[in-house]
Amino acid sequence: MEALSTQKELSSALKHQARAQGFEPVGIARLPGSARMRLRSAALERWLDAGYQADMGWMAAPRRKDATQLLEGATSLLAVGLNYHVKHERMPGRLAIARYGWGRDYHRVVSQRLKRLGRWLESQKPGTHWRACVDADPLLDKAWAEEAGLGWIGKHSNLIHHERGSWMVIGHLLCDIELSPDPPAAPLCGRCTLCMEACPTQAIREPFVVDSGLCLAYHTIENRDAELPEAIKAAMGPWVAGCDICQDVCPWNRGDIPSNDDPDLQPRQWMLDLSREQAMTWDDTTWQEQLRGSALRRIKPWMWRRNAAAAEPKDVPTLDKSGSR
């Protein structure tokens, strides 16, 4: 009984430390997870078999289906969310950049903070082995976040929290000690299909299934072809780096959702006020300087110019933020 009490205390203290690092929500899952994780792995296989990963071959990494291949002996996982919703908006008539990329590179922010948690955990339990993971690691990150109770995977494939919406990036801390798990999140999308209806390319082929080959985010960030497909160019609107349409229309992102004043997440002003002329005329050196420390460095300067040439700077309709769920 004493060991269980210690396990609960350590788990509670770890989550408290995670919140002190700016993470919310936070939760814990035990490996290998519930039957839901097997269903998520099977869904990944079907998605890959359908070719919906486009050119993202790394999605097929076998390790993605087995977290213990990332940390030998892993038995528990701390899942964390970092809210990137801030009190800023894009200037009218400018090119659009997805919100997740406005601030400092979230891979570095989340990884650095998770490593602090790993060192804290090791100080409490000497000999503990741990590994910090962000979405660049081969892990079913959204599925494990769902398993740890952070939220449910919506029909647009993003993780949704019932009070914070889907404006969050997620990270995980694997460890080889037993922690007290939280209950998995229950899905609450119901019959809503707003995200599917709003997608200008119908990339959400069916609930929870996104075809990357039709997704504006994939084409503006990952597509290395000199020219974008004509159908994508026709549907781009103002988007030149990612796309937030499916999240913008989600009822769970309306109402009084929290904004984050964390300095690491505040936008670079040029991202809110980017004109086509700037995007087309900045040379490679200027782009490299503007993108220093940004997750959007993945988009090469020539890709920014390619995307801007196809985009149509315009206002995105303002949504009713008080809409009912």
Choosing from 49, 66, 105, 135, which is the catalytic residue? 135
Question: Is 141 one of the catalytic residues?
Answer: no
Dist CA 156 CA 167 (whole Å): 13
Give the H/E segment covering residue 202. Answer: none
Q: Which two structure tokens, joined as six digits, stand for 170?
A: 């997620």
Alpha-carbon distance of 163 to 158, in angstroms, equals 15
Contact 84, 102 (CB under 8 A): yes
DSSP-assigned letters across all residues of 5-56: HHHHHHHHHHHHHHHHTT--SEEEEETT--HHHHHHHHHHHHHHHTTTTTT-
- Cα(44)–Cα(46) distance, rounded to whole angstroms? 5
Query: What is the set of active-site residues?
Result: 135
